[in-house]
């Protein structure tokens, strides 16, 4: 079954309705970080009660502030431009830093923990606290991640289902990333080298994980996945011939992957233009391309669905990379 724009995911439509007045792309991305559901099911036993959240009313509480920021975004723009960023994760982290500073709960961020210099010379980096935040008088350690993974349906094998969510570049998986966060990074505050850097002992270490998960068209919308929040942000993935129809399309650059797209209608493409662009991309690059399927409202185009367009053979490479198909 090809992926089509007719089955409108509820999140995009709800986001456009809730944040219709936001025009600045950075403010819209910040609104998504605050208001979007997390990727992880906080009640799932494998996360051991260590899933952080901003609160169900965080978006409503931030509404007035976000609208004011949209009218006068200079402070946010200055914050983002203070240190250059080129990675989506770094961009999302800077947005979250700005929000936590606004709330007045940020104790510190990006605090590197180093062991004493070894005999070989130089200090060994043990890890880094993404955020140290206050909850009342308690100090918490938050690891923060914004991730995008595609579900590769497995033909069998020993992996957990989260291992079958793979990055578009096949460099990692949701399972591997969560193993790193929950198995190693959240233990950082217990390391002796971390103690002098903390204003007081950490009472809880938690993971705040946002993002989008993408499903092959035959499984879209998806069935419940163990450990994954039921209301997570989702899209599809398919090859270019299987992409369904839409009024207009747009290729989303990496730093525009967070919030549902809102574009000038003049900046969008028809099907033929999109196909030419993606085919040219795949001639020299096997990285999947994230595409927004759009509807037109006046002079604007609003995202109704999104999906990764993968090159021919991507699924087979994904299966071999994670051991789900014979090599």
Has residue 59 been placed in a domain? yes
Q: Which residue has the higher pLDDT, 122 or 279?
A: 279
pTM of the model: 0.92
When pLDDT is cut at 50, 70 and 90, the band that residue 265 belongs to is: very high
User: What's the confidence (pLDDT) of residue 6?
Assistant: 43
Segment 125-179, tens digit of pLDDT = 899 999 999 999 999 999 999 999 999 866 444 456 788 899 999 989 999 999 9
User: What's the confidence (pLDDT) of residue 322?
Assistant: 62
Per-residue pLDDT, averaged over 8-35, amounts to 92
211: left (phi over 0), alpha (psi -120 to 50) or beta: left
Has residue 326 been placed in a domain? no
Has residue 75 been placed in a domain? yes
pLDDT at 261 over 60: yes
Has residue 18 been placed in a domain? yes
**Alpha carbon of residue 195 to chain centroid:** 31
Segment 204-256, tens digit of pLDDT = 999 999 999 999 976 677 778 889 999 999 999 999 999 999 999 999 999 99
Using the 8-state DSSP alphabet, how is residue 184 labeled?
A: T
255 CB burial (10 A radius; 0-12, 13-18, 19+): middle
User: What's the confidence (pLDDT) of residue 28?
Assistant: 98
Q: Which domain holds residue 36?
A: 10-321
How many domains would you assign to the chain? 1
CA distances from residue 76 to 10, 85, 111 in whole angstroms, order as listed:
29, 14, 22
User: What's the confidence (pLDDT) of residue 9?
Assistant: 54
Yes or no: say if 202 and 141 are a contact pair by the CB < 8 Å rule: yes
Has residue 16 been placed in a domain? yes
Q: Which residue has the higher pLDDT, 318 or 207?
A: 207
User: What's the confidence (pLDDT) of residue 217?
Assistant: 75
User: What's the confidence (pLDDT) of residue 86?
Assistant: 77
pLDDT at 325 over 50: no
Angle, nearest 10°, between helix axes 25-35 and 10-18?
A: 120
Has residue 284 been placed in a domain? yes
User: What's the confidence (pLDDT) of residue 5?
Assistant: 40
Q: What is the mean pLDDT of the chain?
A: 90
Handedness of CA 183, 51, 132, 24 (dihedral sign): positive
Residue 112, SS3 per DSSP: strand
- CA–CA dist 266, 270 (Å, integer): 11
User: What's the confidence (pLDDT) of residue 160?
Assistant: 64
Beta bridge partners of 113: 127
Has residue 327 been placed in a domain? no
For residue 281, give both structure tokens.
Answer: 């991309």
Has residue 1 been placed in a domain? no
When pLDDT is cut at 50, 70 and 90, the band that residue 323 belongs to is: low
Residue 190, SS3 per DSSP: helix
């Amino acid at each position: 079954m090809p992926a089509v724009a007719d089955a409108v995911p509820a999140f995009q439509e709800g986001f456009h309705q809730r944040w219709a007045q936001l025009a600045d792309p950075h403010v819209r991305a910040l609104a998504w970080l605050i208001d979007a559901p997390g990727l992880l099911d906080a009640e799932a036993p494998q996360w051991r009660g260590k899933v952080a959240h901003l609160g169900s009313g965080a978006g409503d509480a931030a509404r007035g502030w976000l609208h004011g920021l949209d009218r006068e975004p200079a402070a946010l723009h200055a914050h983002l431009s203070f240190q250059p960023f080129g990675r989506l994760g770094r961009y999302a982290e800077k947005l979250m830093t700005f929000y936590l500073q606004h709330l007045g709960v940020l104790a510190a961020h990006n605090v590197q923990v180093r062991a004493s210099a070894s005999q070989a010379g130089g200090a060994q980096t043990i890890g880094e606290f993404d955020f140290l935040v206050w909850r009342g008088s308690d100090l918490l350690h938050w690891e923060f991640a914004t991730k995008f993974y595609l579900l590769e349906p497995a033909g069998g094998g020993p992996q957990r289902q989260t291992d079958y969510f793979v990055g578009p570049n096949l460099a990692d998986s949701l399972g591997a990333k969560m193993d790193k966060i929950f198995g190693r990074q959240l233990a950082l505050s217990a390391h002796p080298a971390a103690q002098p850097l903390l204003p007081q002992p950490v009472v809880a270490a938690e993971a705040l994980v946002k993002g989008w998960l993408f499903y092959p068209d035959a499984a879209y919308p998806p069935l419940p996945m163990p450990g994954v929040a039921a209301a997570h942000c989702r899209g599809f993935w398919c090859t270019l011939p299987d992409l369904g129809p839409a009024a207009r399309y747009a290729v989303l650059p990496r730093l525009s992957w967070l919030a549902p797209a809102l574009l000038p209608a003049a900046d969008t493409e028809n099907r033929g233009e999109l196909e030419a662009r993606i085919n040219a991309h795949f001639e020299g690059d096997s990285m999947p391309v994230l595409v927004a399927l759009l509807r037109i409202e006046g002079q604007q185009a609003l995202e109704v669905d999104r999906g990764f367009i993968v090159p021919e053979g991507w699924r087979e490479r994904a299966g071999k990379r994670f051991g789900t198909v014979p090599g």
